[in-house]
Structure 1
Amino acid sequence: MLSNQTIQIIKSTVPVLEVHGTDITTRFYQLLFTNHPELLNIFNHANQKQGRQQAALANAVYAAALHIDKLETILPVVKQIAHKHRSLGIKAEHYPIVGENLLAAIKDVLGSAATEEILQAWAEAYGVIADAFISVEAELYEQAERQSGGWTGFRSFRVERKVSESDVITSFYLVPQDGQAIAAFEPGQYISVKVEIPGETNTHIRQYSLSDAPGKPYYRISVKREEGIKNNPDGQVSLYLHNQVEQGDVLWLSAPAGEFTVNLSDKRPVVLISGGVGLTPMVSMLHTLAEMNPDRQVTFIHAAQNGHVHALREQVEELALLHSQVSIYWCYEKPTEQDRALKAFHKEGYIDLPWLQQVVPTKEASFYFCGPIPFMKAVNSALQKWEVPEADIHFEFFGPSSSL
């Protein structure tokens, strides 16, 4: 437990963190990777280069300071991050390293304003927060290993099939190389894929949503080819998977993880809204709902530029034909004439509230959405204007958490 004096000191730093938080976390990562370059094998270089990781950590530190007297209020966020940490292989021994470099970054950025009293208070607070993460993650590691077909760390999987789903998205069907059972997962969860790219010094880890229903003898991920500029880390792994990984090749996977899962015990209508490759967890949810809750009303909405880049469309349309409770709607920004002839094509342009109110039977439903951040901001704003309760709004970021 933190003393009242420590709590008050931490709270006094909230305004400073609001102004200098990203500067501190940027300096933190510079120090961390200089002092411990081996950690570059874990962290996503693209998120570092884009500043997303620095912003996410700054938000987390700010939230911890703001709620330091009631840390239980940020426990859901702790659990969400802990799932990612377990999936990446973050261990208890990493936390002292992080703490040491975070305090050094605070001192570097704030200079004389970072008094010994403030640094000591933050060291004490960091210890409490780190213990919370370590405890939650230890439980997740144990769950991953002890479940039927489970494992810890990374396990070798063979690419059984490689299927082109659209002009930009390819599915990989992955089976365990040892021929043993694989762990079950909840629709909406993801796996981490670790690859060694020829010519690269460090390994790269990326997290991909599982795009098929649970209960299959394989895992399926559907990966968008990210065309970036030369040496841009954002597209390195996706381009490697698309261009170099073939049927029969081996990839290393962590066990399924993630908190963004559909509630199968809820009998109310469910609305699944996706943009671009954000449809991957939604397709998994749709498959599962159709199989396990066939009487539950499901509205599936997907936005894409056009049919050329719309992946898994035929699978979703087949499910809608087989299950009368499933309604599907396509929204294309720039539809082709062929797209306009599709039965499910209903809107040109972007998803907005008036259209959602037309196609969604009721707002008394559970809403799930995923996609690019601007898309998610628009959907979230529309649902808030519709006065959908916050408890019924669920979303997932691809990468570090941001703000909607």
Structure 2
Amino acid sequence: MLSEQSVPVVRATLPAVGAAIGEIADLFYTKLFADRPELLRDLFNRGNQANGQQRQALAGSIAAFAGMLLERPDERPDAMLARIAGKHASLGITSEQYKLVHRHLFAAIAEVLGDAVTPEVAEAWDEVYWLMAGALIARESRLYQEAGVADGEVWQRMEIAARRRETADVVSYVLRRADGRPAGPFRPGQYVSVQVRLPDGARQIRQYSLSAAPGSDAWRISVKRQSDGAGPEGEVSSWLHEHAHPGDLLTVSLPFGDLVLDEAGDGPLLLASAGIGGTPMLSVLGHLTGTGRARQVLVAHADRSPADHAHREELRELAGENPHARLSLWYEREADGAATGRMDIGSLDLPEDVTAYLCGPLPFMKAVRADLLRRGVPAQRIHYEVFGPDLWLGQDAPAGGPVPSPAH
């Protein structure tokens, strides 16, 4: 909660800060990378920097969080903070990096707004930053403690035990620890970060959902190739497709992420996904089926065609083995017995107390969420996963998004 003296200052200056936040974000990254060029090379997603999505996400998150402090001072944005903290933990972010970001962010604010940044204004926005940063630092520290590691010590070497081509642009990898120990437990729906050293010497990091149920000595990820590798976008997925083979070693983080199955609940579930967003849902369904949980689950997946649907037969088999599961499929073309076109949530018979999990392209998730809200599903029972900068926050606050830190 903002202090009494900061509330009127932030309220009065939020329009000016919001109007200039894009320029502030641009200058912030310019200053940060001039000071620490290795961050762009080894931590930040170069593709998201090149296409501007990171700057949009940063701008939206600052304005949205400040607005939330003003309009909902008694609420804790738990969903938003949990999403960000999970991403930060998977990258090994520590509290020291928040200090670095603070220095360059406030230098950018002062330079863009000039004389408008009085000591009173600077102090009020400093409070906004550290309220959010402090909450995230605490959450990330708890995540590290739960994982049994020191802050930021999340990386391990893993061997590719098997590789399988699922579709023309999706390859799955089975990963085992290089030291021979079991890969370790995880919660259905979590993801890991994978870092690779690219030909130009950069160490780039991307997140991939664990696409099989927990309980095995190994993990599995499914990697969709995002581009032809000619530019920054998709450079990690392209490298993995071209160079990662059984016997090779990868540097992989411990599992994190907040789009996870609530094991304590027993109410009905909707698992709605599109494209490669089906991978965390496959883990959740596999867990429910394998453990014999008597929990109603509606599985809804949309894809371009049956040939583009990664793990299609595995999904069908898991749903068929689970007497409490019902599977609905949509394909934009070549329906092969499934529905044709885009997912139609209105055609599903949803229980009143359903909890929904969404994963897929942002326009898909926004459309499905809107349909669910119109059907009376409370917003707090609709959960989603976004990989890369969460551009939803600035458009639909306070749905979630990244904090101004070097985590994304």
TM over 0.5: yes
User: For 2:76, what is the secondary structure of its paired residue?
Assistant: helix
Match for 2:308: what amino acid?
V
Contact 1:271 1:360 in 2 (8 A): no
Contact 2:94 2:152 in 1 (8 A): no
Q: Does 2:24 match 1:24?
A: yes
Match for 2:60: what amino acid?
N
Contact 1:299 1:360 in 2 (8 A): no
Cα distance in 1 between the residues matched to 2:95 and 2:46: 22
Alignment partner, residue 256 of structure 1 = 255
Could you tell me which of 62, 70, 79 is aligned with 2:82? 79
- Give the total of aligned pairs: 390
Shift in alpha-carbon separation, 1:65–1:391, aligned structure 2, 3 A: closer
Cα distance in 1 between the residues matched to 2:219 and 2:366: 30
Shift in alpha-carbon separation, 1:290–1:17, aligned structure 2, 3 A: farther
Cα distance in 2 between the residues matched to 1:295 and 1:28: 51
**Range with bigger deviation, 66-75 or 34-43:** 66-75
Alignment partner, residue 351 of structure 1 = 343
Alignment partner, residue 239 of structure 1 = 238
Could you tell me which of 366, 371, 385 is aligned with 1:377? 366
Q: Does 2:408 match 1:400?
A: no
Alignment partner, residue 168 of structure 1 = 169
**Range with bigger deviation, 86-95 or 133-142:** 133-142
Deviations 1:18-39 (A, max 9, x none): 3222221122111111111122
Alignment partner, residue 11 of structure 1 = 11
Match for 1:224: what amino acid?
K
Shift in alpha-carbon separation, 1:151–1:203, aligned structure 2, 3 A: closer
Cα distance in 2 between the residues matched to 1:364 and 1:218: 35
Cα distance in 2 between the residues matched to 1:299 and 1:127: 41
Alignment partner, residue 320 of structure 1 = 319
Shift of 1:128: 3.7
Q: Does 2:119 match 1:120?
A: no
Match for 1:26: what amino acid?
D
Cα distance in 1 between the residues matched to 2:47 and 2:246: 27
Normalised TM-score (structure 2):
0.90
Cα distance in 1 between the residues matched to 2:276 and 2:85: 24
Contact 1:160 1:174 in 2 (8 A): yes
Task: Give 5+ residue unaligned stretches, structure 2.
Answer: 397-408
Shift of 1:372: 0.7
Contact 2:259 2:384 in 1 (8 A): yes
Cα distance in 1 between the residues matched to 2:201 and 2:88: 22
Shift in alpha-carbon separation, 1:316–1:128, aligned structure 2, 3 A: closer
Identity %: 38
Contact 1:192 1:254 in 2 (8 A): yes
Shift in alpha-carbon separation, 1:323–1:131, aligned structure 2, 3 A: closer
User: For 2:234, what is the secondary structure of its paired residue?
Assistant: helix
Residues 61-140 of structure 1 mapped to structure 2, 5 A cutoff: 61-68=62-69, 70=73, 73-140=76-143
Shift of 1:229: 6.6
Residues 284-303 of structure 1 mapped to structure 2, 5 A cutoff: 284-303=283-302
Deviations 1:132-185 (A, max 9, x none): 2222212211222259xx993310000000111111111010000011233311
User: For 2:247, what is the secondary structure of its paired residue?
Assistant: coil
Shift of 1:216: 0.9
Alignment partner, residue 45 of structure 1 = 46
Contact 2:10 2:125 in 1 (8 A): yes
Q: Does 2:203 match 1:203?
A: yes
Task: Give 5+ residue unaligned stretches, structure 1.
Answer: none
Cα distance in 2 between the residues matched to 1:114 and 1:160: 56
Shift of 1:307: 1.2
Contact 2:155 2:252 in 1 (8 A): yes
Deviations 1:99-145 (A, max 9, x none): 01000111222223223331233234433432222222122112222
User: For 1:299, what is the secondary structure of its paired residue?
Assistant: strand
Shift in alpha-carbon separation, 1:237–1:270, aligned structure 2, 3 A: same
Shift of 1:222: 0.4
Shift in alpha-carbon separation, 1:295–1:101, aligned structure 2, 3 A: same
Cα distance in 1 between the residues matched to 2:320 and 2:304: 24
User: For 1:188, what is the secondary structure of its paired residue?
Assistant: coil
Match for 2:313: what amino acid?
E
Shift in alpha-carbon separation, 1:215–1:55, aligned structure 2, 3 A: same
Cα distance in 1 between the residues matched to 2:74 and 2:37: 31
Cα distance in 2 between the residues matched to 1:11 and 1:293: 52
Contact 1:10 1:68 in 2 (8 A): no
User: For 1:259, what is the secondary structure of its paired residue?
Assistant: coil
Normalised TM-score (structure 1):
0.91
Shift of 1:71: 7.3
Deviations 1:40-98 (A, max 9, x none): 21111112222222222222211332233637522432222111111101111111110
User: For 1:194, what is the secondary structure of its paired residue?
Assistant: strand
Deviations 1:224-283 (A, max 9, x none): 0112572x2111000001111111111101110011112233222211111000001010
Q: Which has the higher contact order (CA 8 A, sep 6+)?
A: 2
User: For 2:148, what is the secondary structure of its paired residue?
Assistant: helix
- Runs of 4+ residues over 4 Å off in structure 1: none
Cα distance in 2 between the residues matched to 1:211 and 1:178: 22
Deviations 1:4-26 (A, max 9, x none): 22232223222123322222112
Cα distance in 2 between the residues matched to 1:127 and 1:384: 33
